[in-house]
Structure 1
Amino acid sequence: MTQRVLLATGNTKKLTELRRIIADNDLDLEVVGLRDIDPYPDPVESEWTFEGNALIKAREGMIHSGLPSLADDSGLCVDALGGMPGVRSSRWNGPEQEDIANLELVLRQIEDVPRGRRQAQFVAVMALVMPDGREFTTRGEMTGHLTNRSKGSRGFGYDPIFVPDEQVPDADGRLRTSAEMTADEKDAISHRGRAVRAILPILARELGLPVPEGLRVEPGALPGADREGPEPTLPASEWTAQIPVIGRPEQGGAKPAPPGVPSSGVTPLEP
């Protein structure tokens, strides 16, 4: 029987992306989104790490659905801005979460930064919270640099100004933004794609499903793969108390990653 898992997001593009990766790997899973369950208030993303905020969202999804729940937290970390917007990426220009406004603000903030110092990283963390309270996180990164204007219409968020390092130039020898790539090209190298592919073997194992050969990874082969997540932000009793039949998770999981992200190299061509 097909098992159900919740992706705790209202973002239809993220839901489509996860369903596509699962279908590509022949996992017998049905992924539902927040629109498929009874509504509940958006949790406050109060943490200062991607791991912390992803776990907040996954915990709430599990509490309100009773399903194994996945959630991601992702963002753009710009070297010239000291790693910001980071966890504030979706709200960089205010609480309205408007992609274009956020993107334009970042461009204004680095408009005097020379090309060779416009390195940035996309970071994504996927969190998995099981109905028995166990938690896992995986982390994916995509390095690159920022352009000085938007190009492409396929992506979302900061994709139109981000040029990944790890790509094959087009026929004219030009490097493209994430928003100019096909879905398959982006999935293969994206921060979220890497975090998702790292969490799926863990999810399959926890659900008793066979792990597709293409998803088998050795422990430590990907950052964050196959490790339990950080300790709950709240004491376990404050969030598991809402689930009468579920016991407390064990304490003492891996600590959140330290602040800061590695710098990328400089790609040879600027779109």
Structure 2
Amino acid sequence: MSGEDTTRRLAHGAEIVLASHNAGKLREFALLLGTSGITVRSAAELNLPEPVEDADSFEGNALIKARAAATATGLPALADDSGFCVVALDNRPGVYSARWAGPERDMSVAMGRVERELAEAGSDDRRAAFVVVLCLAWPDGTYRMVHGRCEGTVSFPAQGEHGHGYDPIFIPKGETRTFAQMSETEKNRFSHRGQAMERFLADCVTR
């Protein structure tokens, strides 16, 4: 069996693999899943290779990662694909957000490119959004997806020491601080992942 199954759920207390090698993301997901009783193991802990993310959508890349981890471990696997979408840049970097950091995955490079391209665009529009798709895949090929989105603005220079990715240049709507200036708990009240995880827990986990 394969394909999306919108009725399948994780049992309370299940063990899953987080299909990510990002330590910051692992901490964030562990906190978000803290009340679910679910045990999270990381792809890095299990020495899983990183699959090639060659889809042209958040949904496609999340599915690639989740299915690869589920197949490799025999456990349900949760993956996310997320991006930073800047309105004045035609919603780029979007699905290519990680690639803007270059081969060294240096986010200062990525944030610098956003600033530079905004200056070149000559626009005063600073609207932006973080978008995420969560995909939960089982070893038999079935999966479920949920979505999250957080609107806000781009702000320079980068500020804050917390978070990861583009957090230091993003101020969520209704706030004056960047995500990187917030604690994880504060950030999760606004964040795209926080919203998606609420839907995930409601729709995909047995209570």
> Displacement, 1:93?
4.3
Change (3 A) 1:62 1:144: same
The 3-state SS of whatever aligns with 1:35 is coil
Give the aligned residue type for 1:152.
G
Aligned equivalent of 2:131 = 123
Q: Does 1:139 align with 2:144?
A: no
TM-superposition CA deviations, 1:144-180 (whole Å, max 9, x none): 111121111112111111111133xxxxxxx111111
Aligned equivalent of 2:37 = 28
Aligned equivalent of 1:259 = none
Percent of residue pairs bearing the same amino acid type = 39
- For the residues of structure 2 that align with 1:138 and 1:33, how far apart are their CA atoms? 20
Bigger strand fraction: 2
Give the aligned residue type for 1:142.
C
User: Which structure would you say has the larger Rg?
Assistant: 1
> Displacement, 1:186?
0.5
Contact kept? 2:67, 2:139, Cα under 8 Å: no
- For the residues of structure 1 that align with 2:33 and 2:52, how far apart are their CA atoms? 28
TM-superposition CA deviations, 1:182-230 (whole Å, max 9, x none): 211101110111112211233313xxxx2xxxxxxxxxxxxxxxxxxxx
Contact kept? 2:88, 2:123, Cα under 8 Å: no
Greater relative CO, 1 or 2 (CA 8 Å, sep 6+): 2
Aligned equivalent of 2:84 = 76
Q: Does 1:5 align with 2:21?
A: no
Contact kept? 1:8, 1:61, Cα under 8 Å: yes
Change (3 A) 1:15 1:149: same
Q: Return 5+ residue gaps in structure 1 as ranges.
A: 168-174, 211-271
Change (3 A) 1:40 1:31: closer
What are the within-5 Å matches in structure 2 for residues 199-238 of structure 1?
A: 199-205=200-206, 210=207
Give the aligned residue type for 1:36.
E
RMSD over aligned CA atoms reads 1.6
- For the residues of structure 2 that align with 1:71 and 1:64, how far apart are their CA atoms? 14
Q: Return 5+ residue gaps in structure 2 as ranges.
A: 1-11
Q: Aligned residue pairs: how many?
A: 195
- For the residues of structure 2 that align with 1:86 and 1:129, how far apart are their CA atoms? 23
Aligned equivalent of 1:186 = 187
Aligned equivalent of 2:5 = none
Give the aligned residue type for 2:59.
E
Q: Does 1:166 align with 2:179?
A: no
- For the residues of structure 2 that align with 1:28 and 1:178, how far apart are their CA atoms? 27
What TM-score results when the alignment is normalised by the length of structure 1? 0.68
What are the within-5 Å matches in structure 2 for residues 87-106 of structure 1?
A: 87-106=95-114
What TM-score results when the alignment is normalised by the length of structure 2? 0.88
- For the residues of structure 2 that align with 1:31 and 1:200, how far apart are their CA atoms? 14
- For the residues of structure 1 that align with 2:40 and 2:174, how far apart are their CA atoms? 29
> Displacement, 1:114?
4.6
